[in-house]
A and B are shown apart, each in its own frame.
Chain A
């Protein structure tokens, strides 16, 4: 049996999978990076592994999508399209795979239909296999993506998100498979998306078997996470019961929440008589060997809590969100509350909110609600805007049952019934004027953007502009190895850094002294760049204490000021919308602005009737509690 190569049509791919005597493997590098390294594995490392991964003979390399598109521009400062372009050149035959959140694309909330289509069209130029899911398993949320992928001649891999509990029966999932096939037709691969790594091997085996009995020709791709340490067991049962493709990752980088090691899967299944089709085991080992030394530089991004978490069967957090959740707990100083949050509050919230699938963005809603319930004292006392939208049905209908009415009351207010009636249901988001957005972007970056730049901007406007400016200032930084890009504590005096720029030119940088001017506190960093001395100056930092003292206020103070029309940021986060203009008449309850923190949006509501007299904050500003947003005065 031969491997399937890039450029094969969806129908041919499906035909080959149907005839396959054995199983295929997807190298889930992106999910590994997201689950175990907070998405920080650099393109530099992927390039290092590219040659061996190309020879290893995978069904596909899952290398983009999920949160990675955002993190690429936000934290890795790499163009997600350039990444694919570079890797494609080095890996001409391997199919590239993405993970797309349906109507939420690679973000956290629904996008207009024309943006979805525009984005899919641009990414489909590089991406061969489109794994698409919806956290409510609501098929209409995925339809636009399905259509664009089919139009581009690429492979659709719709997901049924998997979870456990009394409602999560084989019958339910078979019904979902039917719903998907009714929309997509037969030339697809079905993905069982076990983002939490839930259920036992036996449970997964039964599910695969049930689908296989009902749909003998439907290729099945099992995706899981190793959070409980037992995903190899689930993979084995999936393959034994007829799954055609499974997900795993390079062993030298495997951690606790991502996919299990590829080699372990191969060895276990080989002993049972199942062949990994197209796989060159030596190249699988080589891919791990060539990147092994790089792992040390990602140390800071590995999980704060080490060890497998079999309790995932209780809290159900998806592997992809484990790292970032624990990071928040560390940063927020509530690591000690984690047992309460994870093992008591999360399962409770989950049941209360309808036992839907804990995966982006639904998992963030469960997580922030549980955190706020535990830390805030009053359960559902401080609901996020996204929880509100969930209850309003903006993300789709609840799959099994609706939350109890007291939760609606807490979140939507006393007259929740009217609110639900007026605002409820899947929102029909109007198309965005792409030409207008393009004009705005042109103005912001000072030149006409490419379609790729526009795509990034339409998804993450402020972060994309920041990235374009970064690129103009610092160049293509993916050429810097993690030992430079992620260095902590500065470089050693006299240290020599060698790297090759994107044109293939090698550069040598020697680190010289840093001298602080006694006069103005400016630091001059001396570097010998290609044997020529260069000086880089940095203005002195404003002491953090001074800033913090002025800004941070107590919650009570902020509420008192808000009642008087002085709107301050109630928590630390970014302004993502200013909803009013200066001079605008407002009444109590009007939405004035929207702030975002931990990927969740929260509206800032007006506390009095009046007129907006001044606006201090602008979209994209990062505010501390107590920072001014705007001012409302009584209209006289």
Chain B
């Protein structure tokens, strides 16, 4: 048996949680530095993983497999392929950075970091698990720390937001659970093994299931069950409304994780399960998926434009940007799907920057109003007092709006190129391109109102970013620029896996 690197990366944070719980309450710095170590080690392991991952190999690697619950053929089955490794890397990187971003938290430091490490374990598990039961377990486990992180360390309406997030996601999980159980019972032999299910995807064909007296095709109903579970996470319109709430109320670092990693679990799930296990149903649903993608892009952008709260604006921009992922996935083309997965990664970095930067302002002035509810200016002209902050925001914002030379462009361009090359969807691209326009509009309009113009006297004492904040943002900044010029380091990882996925879709 080889070195169990994935298990280590998954459970070291959990171990960290236990260590932190054992630490004395009155030493917050000790807790912080312990968290640095227990997120730093997975990051280092992630670097090792990146270097040793065989990018030319389309199948799963670093496999760990052991029987767990024999009676139900449930296994402890971990492994990663080109689809999961970008997400794994994103998770360990953002988790590490978020420890620093949370440095200013004073209330219940111990509990906060314990929950945070718990969350990281959950996220890692989701991206590594290859057994549906195990996947589901991690998926559900993750809700718990998230609920507490929002509900305890959040803002004004934290409880409402936390419950909303929890119940909404749970509702999706119920459907997923039902689909999972059905998949288990309809598969022969009964299994939760995702790869085996994908291998024998034909066994779900031509079967029907009767629900409330009506008869449905089995694969389509299962596809829908999984889809709704994942769609809530992405979030796909109209299941998106928990997102602005959760974002606005969550503390900065949690918003970063939420937008940077959690949203991607939805699209990851679709690509990991819906696509390979139900290729026929995926084809059946592809046009609908494309339409939803376009709705996400345009609807999210329009809503973002009307927002007065900075964080809500960024939250809706996430809805819009995840639309590109859906669009690329639904295009069924090499460039489109590669672009979609690339967009998952790139949105993770650029939106993380955005949320971190919003947090920087919030820490100083304790509000986030672009326009205050009474109609007066919330910010204005802070470029004069915080030039570095403004510069960083400019980079994040231009990456977000897809300026060529920064990472967002590459993925959006690939999505558009790919989708356009599918004759069925050309007109969708034409409509979707309005989203690019709107994206620039709301972001630059925000930039103008917040950073430019004469300085708002209320904020004349605002300080620029300190070194901790600068260093937190620097790695993301570098990634955004480097991947914008030369995206191959990430694109390279996913290529063969996506080729295999598409080939499996095509032979249906």
A binds B: no
